[in-house]
Amino acid sequence: MRRALEILLPMSSVVLFVLAWQFYVDWNDIAPIYLPAPSAIVLALWEMIADGSLFVHLGATVLRIFVGFFLAAFFGILLGLLMGMSRLVARIADPWVAALYPLPKISLIPLLIIWMGTGESYKILISAISAFFPIVMSTHAGVRQIEPGLLKAARDLGASARQVQMKVVIPGAIPSIFSGLQLGMGVTIILIVAAEMIGGSSRTGMGYLLVHAGQVLETEKVFAALVVLAIMGAVIIKTQQWLDRVLAPWADLS
């Protein structure tokens, strides 16, 4: 009974909202340019699926997200670990991380476009830079926050300095690294779509689809793209959370 309610309640809230929306639009005869009915949005979505254009745009966006994310993850984890393990690296990197982390990364877009043009590399780089910082910070914090007792115990059991790093520090930092990667993924999605929306920088991608549909006042397509983006984001984030739990079953990941 409780379980059924737990599933039924969120589902019915969505269904009721959509129905109310549909009736509101139909009843008041609102122009689809302002607010299309859910049925019109579904139709637009179906057309984009049928002609294959949705998958071209979605595929391009997902591909960019993953390239940007993996670049950020690789360099972010690497620098974070180095900062955590070496005071020297931490001292050198700290002012840069501290200064660049709070900078809104979108503000770098003009500069990147000047330097690299509006091709793929600019889009991937802007998202990678944005995701890099939360990943560096979380990894660094994860290494520093290792339970000192675990390090003592490992040394006492005969582990060398290198073995302590490999067998205690790195696995001990994994929960924190994973939460950094989750933050990083969220930022990557935002920045890729934003970069795709900027000044005709692209002929593909969900960001392009949004801007283009908006310019020609195909409001149902705008909504359809938003729905797809929301689902894409949820699927990516949920899959990541599931993967983290499978890979780190000992950790308390939220």
Residues near other proteins (CB under 8 A) are 147, 149-150, 152-160, 163, 167-168, 171-172, 174, 248-251
> Least distance (Å) from other proteins to the CB of residue 15?
39
Measured from the CB atom, the residue of 97 and 253 that comes closer to other proteins is 253
Measured from the CB atom, the residue of 49 and 141 that comes closer to other proteins is 141
**For residues 208 and 35, is the Cβ–Cβ distance under 8 A?**
no
For residues 179-192, one letter each, b for 16 or more C-beta atoms within 10 angstroms of the residue's C-beta and e for the rest, the string is: bbbbbbbbbbbbbb
Measured from the CB atom, the residue of 152 and 203 that comes closer to other proteins is 152
The rounded distance, in Å, linking the Cα atoms of 234 and 142 is: 26
Measured from the CB atom, the residue of 102 and 149 that comes closer to other proteins is 149
> Least distance (Å) from other proteins to the CB of residue 180?
17
Length of the chain: 254
Residues in contact with 157: Cβ distance below 8 Å, sequence separation at least 6, in sequence order: none
201 class by beta-carbon count within 10 Å (0-12 exposed, 13-18 middle, 19+ buried): buried
Measured from the CB atom, the residue of 118 and 163 that comes closer to other proteins is 163
> Least distance (Å) from other proteins to the CB of residue 158?
5
> Least distance (Å) from other proteins to the CB of residue 155?
8
The rounded distance, in Å, linking the Cα atoms of 254 and 244 is: 10
- Helix axis angle, 38-50 relative to 2-28, nearest 10°? 100
Measured from the CB atom, the residue of 93 and 159 that comes closer to other proteins is 159
> Least distance (Å) from other proteins to the CB of residue 160?
7
Q: DSSP for 173-220?
A: HHHHHHHHHHHHHHHHHHHHHHHHHSTT--SSSHHHHHHHHHHTT-HH
> Least distance (Å) from other proteins to the CB of residue 95?
26
